[in-house]
């Protein structure tokens, strides 16, 4: 264990110690002394190794069990969920770095887009998606309730300075809110090698009860910017370009032009439920499953993906808000 993980001040606060112990143990699970182990040592041994009480160790292991990294089994001990640990190890660098620099205009903590040059590595610096639903400071403040648009714009410059390329900006079209900024967003593609992507607002969560005038088809962009010319599509995005522009424009139309037949995505929520369709009520619990049982559950979720959603007929069937689903 790294000695710096446990300072004298940390020993005085149980919550602080628990967080440090969790971080230290996770590092050991991924790349350290327990990287090839099937289980962790007994609580009393861990407490002795780290110089903390068994209560602190129990708190830390409880946090790790809630996250799915370990499972405490009576008569056996603390079993390491190697599937989760290996997945976290593969995703860790890119995921955590990307999370740090995302600009999520729709979420309260979304304005934190800060990048340092030494943090970006060759793998993580290939692409970055940034959610940005307005270019107007007053609207940004009203939507996020935290931070400023200037912070995000400065972060975008820092991201490019850190080596990020292929920046993609995701803008949710909202009638009566930001549809008067379509031209402003599109024009950013003239002088920047960015892809400005417009996404149709979906009737789910708090938006489900909104007036229908808020839900604009992606074709609104083409109506407002007639000079856009079609180019090769990319995934679910239909793509266009202004003559002579450095960047491109993408349209993602989950409502008016559903792409359910081509959907290859499944989602796992933070509380361990697999969703075969973003808009389906059906969820398959994965928590506590291992090996073949876990594989069978994931396979079942894939095979039972709904044929299509029904957003043109009614609101989303999922009881969750988008920020409870992710992806």
pLDDT, one tens digit per residue, over 143-168 is: 888 778 988 888 888 888 777 778 99
At residue 112, the pLDDT reads 40
CA distance 16 to 9: 9
**How far apart are alpha carbons 34 and 147 in whole angstroms?**
40
Low-confidence ranges of the chain (pLDDT < 70): 1-17, 87-127, 258-259, 308-317, 319, 322-327
Report whether 110 contacts 155 (CB < 8 A). no
- Residue 97: predicted pLDDT: 43
- pTM reported for the whole predicted model: 0.58
**CB-count burial class (<10 Å; 0-12, 13-18, 19+) for 195:** buried
pLDDT 10s digits, 221-274: 999 999 999 999 988 889 999 999 999 999 998 887 766 777 778 888 888 888
Residue 57's nearest CA partner among 139, 102, 1 is 1
Nearest residue to 301 (alpha-carbon basis) of 322, 325, 279, 282? 282
């Amino acid at each position: 264990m790294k000695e710096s993980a446990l300072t004298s001040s940390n020993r005085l606060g149980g919550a602080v110690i628990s967080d440090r112990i969790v971080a230290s143990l996770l590092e050991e699970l991924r790349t350290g002394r327990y990287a090839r182990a099937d289980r962790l040592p007994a609580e009393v041994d861990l407490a002795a190794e780290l110089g903390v009480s068994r209560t602190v160790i129990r708190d830390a292991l409880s946090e790790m069990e809630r996250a799915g990294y370990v499972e405490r089994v009576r008569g056996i001990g603390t079993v390491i969920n190697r599937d989760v640990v290996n997945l976290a190890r593969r995703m860790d660098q890119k995921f955590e770095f990307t999370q740090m620099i995302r600009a999520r205009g729709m979420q309260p903590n979304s304005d934190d887009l800060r990048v340092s040059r030494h943090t970006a590595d060759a793998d993580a610096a290939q692409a970055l998606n940034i959610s940005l639903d307005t270019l107007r400071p007053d609207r940004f403040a009203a939507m996020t309730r935290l931070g400023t648009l200037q912070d995000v714009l400065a972060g975008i410059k820092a991201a490019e300075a850190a080596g990020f390329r292929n920046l993609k900006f995701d803008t949710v079209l909202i009638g009566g809110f930001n549809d008067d900024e379509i031209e402003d967003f599109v024009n950013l593609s003239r002088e920047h090698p960015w892809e400005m992507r417009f996404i149709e607002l979906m009737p789910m969560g708090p938006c489900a009860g909104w007036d229908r005038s808020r839900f604009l088809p992606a074709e609104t962009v083409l109506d407002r910017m007639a000079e856009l010319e079609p180019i090769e599509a990319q995934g679910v995005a239909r793509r266009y370009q202004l003559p002579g522009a450095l960047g491109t424009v993408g349209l993602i139309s989950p409502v008016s032009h559903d792409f359910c037949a081509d959907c290859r995505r499944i989602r796992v929520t933070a509380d361990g439920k697999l969703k075969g369709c973003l808009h389906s009520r059906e969820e398959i619990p994965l928590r506590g499953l291992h090996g073949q049982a876990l594989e069978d559950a994931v396979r079942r979720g894939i095979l039972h993906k709904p044929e299509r959603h029904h957003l043109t007929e009614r609101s989303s069937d999922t009881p969750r808000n988008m920020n409870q689903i992710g992806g």
